[in-house]
Amino acid sequence: MKHQFLLFAPFLMAACMSNPAPPAAPAEVDAAMAAPDCSVETFAIYFDEGASELSAESDAVIDAVSKTYARCELYKIEIEGHADASGDEVANQAISAARAEAVLEALKTRGVDAERAHLVAYGDKGAVTDEGDVPLNRKTEVRLVPES
């Protein structure tokens, strides 16, 4: 009898052990969750008075622009340079163009396709309000627009 028990011991042990749970069914991926949001996004990069050099803060914004651009393949890029009204009109036009160009160059170094970019230099247009106030308008706006 002792030998019979030893013969069946492995079978008894296997019967007493619980079987592992079957693997869970793969979770369904919601299409809205899987697809990146490729809607219009606007980023602002600010400059010191009379400057067109990028700061450490503007580098962080340009990094964010390039990461957003990489998420969706079909973006057009609008880069708009602005200036405040503290200088003359010709100087303001030149500084706004230099700001837009500096942003484009920084984006190119991060893999953004310059062929998709459209640059506009607004100078000091919009810098003076109807009340005569001169808001700080020392910036470049980058707008990512999905192509339809």
> What tens digit of pLDDT does each residue of 47-75 get?
998 899 999 899 999 999 999 888 887 78
Q: List, for residues 83-134, the tens digit of each pLDDT value.
A: 988 888 999 999 999 999 999 999 999 999 899 999 999 998 877 766 766 6
Q: What is the pTM of this model?
A: 0.71
Tokens for 3, please give them: 């030998």
Q: From CA 143, how far away is CA 110, in angstroms rounded? A: 16
Residue with tokens 């036009």, as numbered in its chain: 93
Return the CATH fold of 44-146.
Answer: 60s Ribosomal Protein L30; Chain: A; (3.30.1330)
9-54 residue pLDDT tens? 555 454 444 455 555 555 554 544 555 678 889 999 999 988 999 9
Residue 142 exposed, middle or buried by CB count within 10 Å (0-12, 13-18, 19+): buried
Assign 139 to helix, strand or coil. strand
Residue 127 has a pLDDT of 77
